[in-house]
């Protein structure tokens, strides 16, 4: 049976009544599992700790007034993450004193209007922090969550979040860490961010807050050929670790319920350095469709109904804002291959999505600067589905030939793909080989010709989905890729080096 202790009387010596509730004047309290100390009295139901007072808490303390710690300690002893302090007032509750308090578990459940919970000092939480009702206003102080378990921040909503500074300790894992922050006291001031950890390393904690968008400068960023025209005026997220990460990455969701003027496929997350007030510093890093980057049109984080913007594979921290464009980003070109077949060159490409796409023009060149038209193929207009295309060049050159795609929208705007290269008479002089092929666990990529400068190696599955990617720097002739985790089937490998794109197929057993 759950026990409840209602403090309504003056208890002499160490546990004494005072004008604001109860006072621990150097005593050691023990509140056992299943017991509840309820400090009633609305604004007068407060707690004062002084003269080295300690609490061994395995049950609950429910408090309706202020919490004041004037002892030279953090109040709680024998902490084992099973003791709750629940702030359940109906008027402002302030956490203050001459020393910080280190809570085991904490719940904010204050129904007051105005400022429900006010921090006059840093508040440290070792375990679960539950937001039930009421905004926590930190001022210049911090609500610090030391637990590295992502799910230990719970219950947050537009009715209960942090107005100010939230610090979360982060471990190297793949958990999701919510940052329920905002810039005000009402539901319309709530701007949640969620970090999906990709085994980040090199730092201990992340500080987050939401604040005003600082004006100045001219926005000049574009992505996949489409310029961004503005950054949402409602404000920006400031998300910064105590040190730069040295490994791993993260996906970021910035929730948009309180951001107006959004249209499908015309918004996403942009970044700029935390101190900056220059719009020219906004960037899409990492840019482009895919991972890292953003999902294709119609994908997660690109549709208003999702309620959030999403950028994948981020490695840097800074200001985060919602960039807006005046038109959807164009096609997501996944693969583009040129292959010699008999006395033809077969050109094949795959798109993961298309927006306002009128047609493709296949162009070729023998010097990579002057191009002629090979063929024109109609596009799919606007679609979120994977589309497959083929075209043929019947006039095969005896020289190395460069091909590119020109994608043209219905409004006349166009973009070019990277170059792909082929030489049907001397294929051994260009490109790369994959050995063994078929393969089981590893493949060796062997360059045919010089391997100088940086190179990007990518593997796509049969649907055009990117399943492996690695960068190489400096001179190289051969490297190895681990494909053990890939399912059996046909794959396409792409190597971008020396401003050219080389492609090969291989089979995974």
pLDDT digits (tens, 9 = 90+) for 266-319: 999 999 999 999 999 999 989 988 889 998 888 899 999 999 999 999 999 999
Lowest mean pLDDT among 215-229, 277-291, 314-328, 332-346: 332-346
Q: Rounded mean pLDDT of the chain? A: 87
> Which of 402, 422, 442 marks a domain boundary?
422
What does the pLDDT read at residue 452? 57
Tell me the C-alpha distance between 367 and 345, whole Å.
17
pLDDT band of residue 26 (cuts 50, 70, 90) is: confident
Same domain, 309 and 397: no
Tell me the C-alpha distance between 7 and 16, whole Å.
10
Tell me the C-alpha distance between 278 and 408, whole Å.
33
Query: What residues contact 11, with CB distance under 8 A and at least 6 apart?
Result: 17, 22
Query: What residues contact 219, with CB distance under 8 A and at least 6 apart?
Result: 228, 229, 230, 231, 279, 280, 282, 323
Please give the span between the terminal C-alpha atoms of the chain, in angstroms, as a whole number: 61
Mean pLDDT of 343-367: 87
Q: 152 vs 473, which has greater pLDDT?
A: 152
What does the pLDDT read at residue 474? 65
Same domain, 159 and 244: yes
Beta strands 129-133 and 105-109 are parallel
The pair of three-digit structure tokens given for residue 211, joined into one six-digit string: 């604040």
Query: What residues contact 206, with CB distance under 8 A and at least 6 apart?
Result: 167, 168, 170, 177, 179, 195, 239, 240, 241, 242, 317
Same domain, 251 and 317: yes
> Which of 367, 392, 422 marks a domain boundary?
422
What does the pLDDT read at residue 2? 39
Mean pLDDT of 214-223: 90
Mean pLDDT of 218-228: 87
Same domain, 413 and 435: no
Does residue 209 register a pLDDT over 50?
yes
Tell me the C-alpha distance between 231 and 279, whole Å.
9
Same domain, 55 and 107: yes
Same domain, 274 and 413: no
Same domain, 385 and 441: no
Same domain, 274 and 173: yes
Same domain, 256 and 300: yes
Same domain, 320 and 391: no
What does the pLDDT read at residue 100? 94
Beta strands 162-169 and 176-182 are parallel
Q: How many CA atoms lie within 13 A of 31 on its CB side?
A: 27
Closest CA to 200 of 320, 314, 311: 314
Question: DSSP letter at 292?
Answer: S
Same domain, 147 and 181: yes
Does residue 208 register a pLDDT over 90?
yes
What does the pLDDT read at residue 58? 93
Specify the CATH number for the domain of residue 383: 2.60.40.10
> Which of 359, 394, 422 marks a domain boundary?
422
What's the total number of domains in the chain?
3
Specify the CATH number for the domain of residue 471: 2.60.40.3080
What value, to the nearest 5°, has the Cα angle with vertex 65 and ends 61 and 66?
95
* Segments forming the whole domain that contains residue 492: 431-508
């Amino acid at each position: 049976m759950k026990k409840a202790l209602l403090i309504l009387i003056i208890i002499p010596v160490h546990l004494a009544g005072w004008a604001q509730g109860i006072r621990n004047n150097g005593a050691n309290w023990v509140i056992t599992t299943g017991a509840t100390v309820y400090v009633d009295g609305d604004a007068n139901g407060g707690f004062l700790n002084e003269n080295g007072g300690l609490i061994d808490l395995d049950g609950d303390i429910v408090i309706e007034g202020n919490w004041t710690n004037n002892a030279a300690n953090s109040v709680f002893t024998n902490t084992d993450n099973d003791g709750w302090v629940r702030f359940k007032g109906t008027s402002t509750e302030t956490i203050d004193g001459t020393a910080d308090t280190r809570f085991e578990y904490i719940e904010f459940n204050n129904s007051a209007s105005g400022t429900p919970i006010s921090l006059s000092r840093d508040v440290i939480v070792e375990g679960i922090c539950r937001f039930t009702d009421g905004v926590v206003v930190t001022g210049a102080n911090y609500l610090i969550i030391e637990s590295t378990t992502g799910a230990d921040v719970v219950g947050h909503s537009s009715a209960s979040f942090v107005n100010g500074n939230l610090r979360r300790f982060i471990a190297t894992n793949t958990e999701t860490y919510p940052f329920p922050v905002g810039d005000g006291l009402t539901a319309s001031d709530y701007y949640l961010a969620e970090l999906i950890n990709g085994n980040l390393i090199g730092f201990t904690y992340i500080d987050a807050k939401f604040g005003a968008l600082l004006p100045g400068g001219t926005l000049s960023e574009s992505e996949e050929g489409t310029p961004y025209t503005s950054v949402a005026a409602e404000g920006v997220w400031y998300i910064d670790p105590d040190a730069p990460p040295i490994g791993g990455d993260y996906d970021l969701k910035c929730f948009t319920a309180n951001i107006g003027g959004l249209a499908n496929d015309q918004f996403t997350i942009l970044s700029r350095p935390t101190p900056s007030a220059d719009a020219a510093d906004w960037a899409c890093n990492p840019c482009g469709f895919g991972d890292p980057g953003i999902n294709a049109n119609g994908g997660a984080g690109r549709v208003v109904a999702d309620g959030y913007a999403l950028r994948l594979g981020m490695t840097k921290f800074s200001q985060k804002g919602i960039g807006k464009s005046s038109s959807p980003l164009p096609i997501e070109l996944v693969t583009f291959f040129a292959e010699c077949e008999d006395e033809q060159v077969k050109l094949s490409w795959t798109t993961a999505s298309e927006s306002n796409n009128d047609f493709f023009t296949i162009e070729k060149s023998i010097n990579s600067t002057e191009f002629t038209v090979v063929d024109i193929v109609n596009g799919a207009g606007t679609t979120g589905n994977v589309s497959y295309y083929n075209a043929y060049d019947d006039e095969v050159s005896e020289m190395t030939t460069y091909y590119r795609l020109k994608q043209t929208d219905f409004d006349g705007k166009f973009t070019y793909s990277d170059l792909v290269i082929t030489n049907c008479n001397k294929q051994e002089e260009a490109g790369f080989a994959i050995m063994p092929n078929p393969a089981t666990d590893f493949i060796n990529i062997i360059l045919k010709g010089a391997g100088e400068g940086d190179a990007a190696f990518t593997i796509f599955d049969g649907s055009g989905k990117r399943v492996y990617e690695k960068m190489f720097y400096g001179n190289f002739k051969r490297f190895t890729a681990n494909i053990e985790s890939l399912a059996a089937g046909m794959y396409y490998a792409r190597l971008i080096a020396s401003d050219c794109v080389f492609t090969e197929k291989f089979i995974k057993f």
